[in-house]
A and B are shown apart, each in its own frame.
Chain A
Amino acid sequence: MEVQQLLSKYMLEISKVTDEKSLYIAIAEIMRKVVDYKALNVIVQSSLFYAEPADQIINEEWFIDYLPWVEDRLSPTFLPVDNWYVGLVPIFKGVKLLSVIVLTTSEEPTAEVIDYLQLLSYLSGLTLENLRLLDFVDNAREYSETVLNLSSDGIIVFYKGEIEFQNVKSSEIIKNYPDILREIETKIDSNEEFFEIELPNAFFSMSVKKIQLQGEERILVTVRNITSEKEVQKLREVDKIKTNFIANISHELRTPLTAIKAYTETIVNVPMTQDEIKEFSETIYNQSLKLEGILNDLLDFSQLESHTLKIVKEPTNIHDVINDSILTVNHLASQYDVKIEFNFDQDLKINCDRKRIEQVITNLLTNSIKFSDKSKEERVAKIAIENDGDFVKIIVEDNGIGIPADKIDKIFDKFYRVDSDLTYSIPGTGLGLAIVKEIVEMHNGSISVESEEGKWTRVTVQLPNE
């Protein structure tokens, strides 16, 4: 056989090889062209790896003492045994033995056979080493790919503004929330590393990091869907608020009740003058009104929760409504020493539920009074009306304690009080503004609030001019 033929045979057989086993099948096939062997065994790390024919195991005793010698010498050798030969062909790369092919033949090996086997052992060593490397690299790649794809975080690598890599989770996120890509792009330029973004119905926490990979700058983005964490957080907050609310409302109910009980007890048990009885009865009456107010709030709130709150619209003079509200809060205003200013004498009629709008204004005024700033010399609550044709704006402005900027968007939430802790420094159920908002919205209106903490608060109720 010519060396060219041997090499073409080798190339042909090797091209079919996919793993170590198939490599040995190929080598066995090629070797048959070089030596007419009876049996061929492949020994990898002292144990039999492959045999051709399958049941032909060559007796180890014939060659075992030569294995270390072959490993050291790295040349093919033939050991005469009776009238035939045991051939040992080391497969190696560099000076590292990868395996030994053992074969038996009755043919006496020629110089050419040994030369060809030497050539095969070099070539197969290279192929085997490459196969093992490939296998190693494949396993390593599969491992890291699996880890990346099983991660519950989305991982994306951007290169020159394009997505170069993304794991399964990130494809999922991008598919469900396409807007997130735009958010990421704006963050890439911002040099921020960690941030959270809010999309409709979903929250994400994200990190954007510039990395050096393969000598060039890339951007590594990790995205985590934290919607459920956020929901749990919200639920916890609501739960806390409700607990506070119950404690708060019990306190609110108990205070007037205690007063009524004490005053009534005194009237019943202690001989008193008519004037004294009158004075006591007035207090009892005021406390009953307060109690009624709280119970009304609760009733409204339960209607609000069950969506059974109804409004009845009728043409209403807004001027009269405001005056009535001022009358209602007058007593409270003098108690807190708050001056109420109202300068509007036009007759302006809008179509609304008179009782409910009065409730709204009363509530807003009450807040202005309750949250007035004792440290200020002059405490004022101003009420104004603006009419721009389509809408009527009722503006309640005060120079009270104001609302901290981070709390301002929460004040219309149910149960919410800025001083949420149970300090009771200012009485209230925390339901008022939630009810107010609901009423205004049922009128197709809107309510907004502006404030500067420690300085002033301005609440604007906008109602359609019908």
Chain B
Amino acid sequence: MIKELLDVVSEIPTPDALIQQIISTASNPNTSAKELEKVISMDVGLSTKILKLVNSAYYGLPRKITKLSEAIVIVGFKTVRNLALSVFTYSALHSRTTFIDHDKLWSHFMLTSILSEQISKNIGFMNREEVFLAGLMHDIGKLAIDLIFPTYILELSKASKELGIPMFKIEYELGVESHTEIGAELLRIWKFPQEYVDVAYLHQKPSLNPDSPYIEMCCIVHLADLYSNILIPGTSLSYGNSYLDPIVFQILGIKPSSLKLFYNDFGRVYERSKDLIFGGVESETGV
């Protein structure tokens, strides 16, 4: 029901032409840094926001970067693309005032993408930037529901908090379209590659489709989502004990004991990335 509305409700922002162009330019293997810089520079505000993110403590660069072309070759094309999409997601989240705290949801998006990248690094999964983006987009369904039925998501979140049951489980028991389905559908409409659609759809329970060609990414984001809920509880609008899908051990080749090691590591990562998670991108425009 909601799915049908996604395409027609005008409140839902779509990535504008510039974002689309940034994505396609960054994905073109023959793109040079200068070319990507040229595309991003079309929005002066976007360039400065990206530079601000690149220079944040999370990236921990030894020298401050002042030029976008430098940022592109130093942190990589895909990281810059991810940051451009973070800026878009941030503004999409803050496009309207509803009953829920968008800053909180943003911090959940950001921490999940950062932890997704960290898990990839720790287990030796090569496509870290793709996983970052998948982490950023995994809960985009919640944004869509909020924009279409703001009271409904508020009630869902309240119920989750009062009952101590994760939102996903309530959705499942109510038999409604879940935020995972809606998120996947939205990303499909936005013409995101299939891996992001799969992650949005499967991130709550990857074992729903163990045959997905992107099952590793789904498992990584599933874990990152779980850690994110532990580190900053409630920011995802979901409460209660998060579900850990046992399929992650087999797919990612990790042991239950690795989870504890990751947790120790992620505490530090979280401290380092606080300015990214809570600072937002809109609050300051200057570098």
Which residues of A are interface residues toward B (Cβ below 8 A)? 65-66, 68-69, 72, 74-80, 85, 93-95, 108-112, 114-115, 118-119, 122
0/1 interface trace, chain B 110-151, chain A, CB 8 Å (1 if under): 000000000001101010100000000000000000000000
CB atoms of B62 and A65 under 8 A apart: yes
Q: By the criterion CB–CB under 8 Å, are B73 and A111 in contact? A: no
Contacts of B75 in A (CB 8 A): 75, 77
A93 CA to B69 CA, complexed, in Å: 30
Tell me the total A-B contact number using a CB cutoff of 8 A: 60
Chain A residue nearest in CB terms to B25? A111
Which segment of B31-39, B97-105, B170-178 sits at the interface? B31-39
Name the residue on B nearest A87 (C-beta).
Answer: B73
Q: How far is the CB of B43 from chain A (nearest CB, A)?
A: 20
- In the complex the two chains form, is B62's CB within 8 Å of A69's CB? yes
Q: Which of A65, A80, A94, A95 is the one whose CB lies under 8 Å from B70?
A: A80
Question: Are A110 and B32 in contact, with the CB atoms below 8 A?
Answer: yes
Note all chain B residues with C-beta closer than 8 A to A108: 32-34, 73
Which residues on the B side are within 8 Å of A78 (C-beta)?
A: 73-74
Interface string of B49-74 (1 = CB under 8 A from A): 00000000000111100000110011
Which B residues lie within 8 Å of A122 (CB)?
A: 124, 126
CB contacts (< 8 Å) of A110 on chain B: these are: 29-33
Could you pull out 7 A-B pairs where Cβ atoms are within 8 angstroms? A75-B75, A79-B73, A80-B70, A111-B77, A114-B77, A115-B29, A122-B126
Evaluate contact between A95 and B122: CB separation under 8 angstroms. Answer: yes
With A77-B74, A112-B29 in contact, is A118–B60 under 8 Å at CB? no
Check A111 against B28 for contact (C-beta < 8 Å). Answer: yes
- In the assembled complex, the CB of B67 is this many whole angstroms from the nearest CB of chain A, namely 8
Contact partner, A85, options B34, B61, B73, B121, Cβ 8 Å: B73
CB-CB < 8 A to B61: which residues of A? 69
CB distance from B276 to the nearest CB of A (A): 15
B76 within 8 A of A: yes
| Cα of A211 to Cα of B32 in the assembled complex, Å | 65
New A-B pairs, 12, CB < 8 Å, besides A110-B30, A111-B77: A76-B76, A77-B75, A79-B74, A108-B33, A108-B34, A108-B73, A110-B29, A110-B33, A111-B31, A112-B29, A122-B124, A122-B126
CA distance A118 to B128 in the complex (A): 11
Q: Which residues of B contact A (CB under 8 A)?
A: 26-34, 36, 60-63, 69-70, 73-78, 121-122, 124, 126, 128
From A66, A79, A85, A114, give the contact of B76 (CB < 8 A).
A114
Q: Given the complex of chains A and B, what is the CA–CA distance between A111 and B78 in angstroms?
A: 8
User: Shortest Cβ distance from B273 into chain A, in angstroms?
Assistant: 13
User: A94 and B124 in contact (CB under 8 A), knowing A69-B62, A77-B76?
Assistant: yes
- How many angstroms between the C-alpha atoms of A290 and B280 in the bound complex? 125
Task: Kindly report which residue of chain B lies nearest to residue A115, judged by CB atoms.
Answer: B29
Decide if B126 touches A111 in the complex (CB within 8 Å): no
- B122 CB to nearest chain A CB (Å): 6
Contacts of B27 in A (CB 8 A): 111
Q: Which of A65, A77, A85, A114 has the most CB of B within 10 A?
A: A114
Determine which residue in B27, B29, B69 has the highest number of CB atoms from chain A within 10 A of its CB, and name it.
B29
Complex contact B32–A95 (CB within 8 A): no
Bound CA span A68–B62, Å: 9
Bound-state Cα–Cα, A112 to B207, Å? 33
Nearest-CB distance from B33 to chain A (Å)?
Answer: 6
Instruction: Tell me how far the C-beta of B120 lies from the nearest C-beta in chain A, rounded to whole angstroms.
Output: 10
B124 and A93 within 8 A (CB): yes
Shortest beta-carbon distance from A445 to chain B in Å: 84
Contacts A69-B62, A111-B29 hold; do A74 and B126 have CB atoms under 8 A apart?
no
Chain A positions within 8 Å of B69 at CB level = 80
